[in-house]
Structures are given as C-alpha cells and as structure tokens.
A and B are shown apart, each in its own frame.
Chain A
Amino acid sequence: EVQLVESGGGSVQSGGSLRVSCAASGFIFSDHYMDWVRQAPGKGLEWVGRIKNRANGYTTLYAASVRGRFTISRDDSMSSLYLQMDSLKTEDAAVYYCVRLTLVVERSNYYYMDVWGKGTTVTVSS
C-alpha cells in the first residue's frame, strides 16, 4: 500500500526552527518528485515547495512566502522527505502535508500530484 506519513510537528517559538519529515512506503520513492503543502487553521491550502528526483538534479522550488527560510531535502536511501523550517513566523503555523508526484508520459511529460499524507501540525507562538 502506498503511504506517506508525516512526523516531527510540534510547538516552536517565533524565530525558531523545526524539521518535519515524511516517511514513504509502498513505492519506489527515488522515482518521484515530492511536494510540501500547508494549511493554516481554518484556511485554504498553500503550496510550499518541491524537490525533484535524482534524474532531475534534486532541483528545489519554493513559494515566495518561504523562500530563503525553508529548505526541502530528501534521502532516497531512507525513502524520506524533509522540510527544514528556520526563522519561523506565526503565519507559518499550519498542518504540513507531503505529496507525491508521479510521472505522466504523454506528448509532453510532466509530474502530477497524486498521493497525500495525513499531515503534521506545526504551531508557532509569539
């Protein structure tokens, strides 16, 4: 069964750091791109960023709101995805979801979001 399980959420003070993780199972992790998406309490979804696979140089992309503060990494040998969050702000408080992307082979190949984890909660206090 394909599974994504986030962990590492918790409470941190504004200006602090936290690393959340996503453990993948049931598929060949190294083949896939991976995203982080977050949802503040009572709010909508916000795309945080992406890390591509080894074949695409482990390239990372970030939303403007987190660029320079958050770092996405992965360990293919551990089938794990990470989100290092530094200089946290109160507005970073959210449920953080990891999302798998799978390659679609058509006229123009692309990756699409297919499987979501259940999320881990990050609280940032002032």
Chain B
Amino acid sequence: QAVVTQEPSLTVSPGGTVTLTCGSSTGTVTSGHYPYWFQQRPGQAPRTLIYATSSKHSWTPARFSGSLLGGYAALTLSGAQPEDEAEYYCLLSYSGVYVFGTGTKVTVL
C-alpha cells in the first residue's frame, strides 16, 4: 500500500501564510489522485476543506486554497487565524483505494 507523507508540524504567525504538502511513495501526486484536505480541530470530527486538488466546499474559508506543487499536493493558508490551529490531513485516491496522509499539526503563534 502507498504511503502518503506530510510535514509533522508547522507554525504560522497570525495573519501569515503557510503551505502544507502531501507526497506519495509511488511518485508524483497528480490530479488523478483527487487530492483532499481535511481539518480536524481537537476533540472534533474532521471536516472537508478541499477536494479534487483545489475545489472548495461552501464552508471552506477563502483563505484556504489547494494546488499541485512540484510533484506534491499542497494546501496554502493565507492570513492565518487563531481558529485555524488544527491537524490537517490529506487523502489520495489510488484506483479506488484511499490513503490518508500522516497529518500536519498547524500551530498559529
């Protein structure tokens, strides 16, 4: 089974910008992996932020954006808010089997 890797932790200043990445052990991440990004605040269920690389849900704040960057899927947070402090998980599709990334803890400090 593929392994999907993320940075273990990142820190961003309030109002600052941070980019999280999501890599695949099988090689380049493409739109064919339908990359997702989920946010999970402490003690809460996850919620979907981004799907299919860059599509947003109605509840996704405009400061979050998804892209493909240098062979990785990427989530960029521009203008970080205190409420963005959370764990972020990516998810990649491998022909009908889905693998979550290891998660990135984002601290807003």
Contact = CB atoms under 8 A, between A and B. Distances in A.
Contacts of A45: 38, 40, 46, 89, 91, 100, 103
A8 B10 CA distance: 37
Contacts of A97: 45-46
Main secondary structure of the interface of B (DSSP, over half): strand
Interface in B32-69: 34, 36, 38, 40, 45-48, 51-52, 55, 57
Given A97-B46, A112-B51, A116-B47, A47 B100 contact: yes
Contacts, number: 55
B97 A118 contact: no
A110 B33 CA distance: 12
A118 B100 contact: no
A125 B68 CA distance: 42
> What is the size category of the interface that chain A forms with chain B?
20 to 34
Interface of B: 1, 34, 36, 38, 40, 45-48, 51-52, 55, 57, 89, 91, 96-103
Interface of A: 35, 37, 44-47, 50, 61, 63-64, 97, 104, 110, 112-119
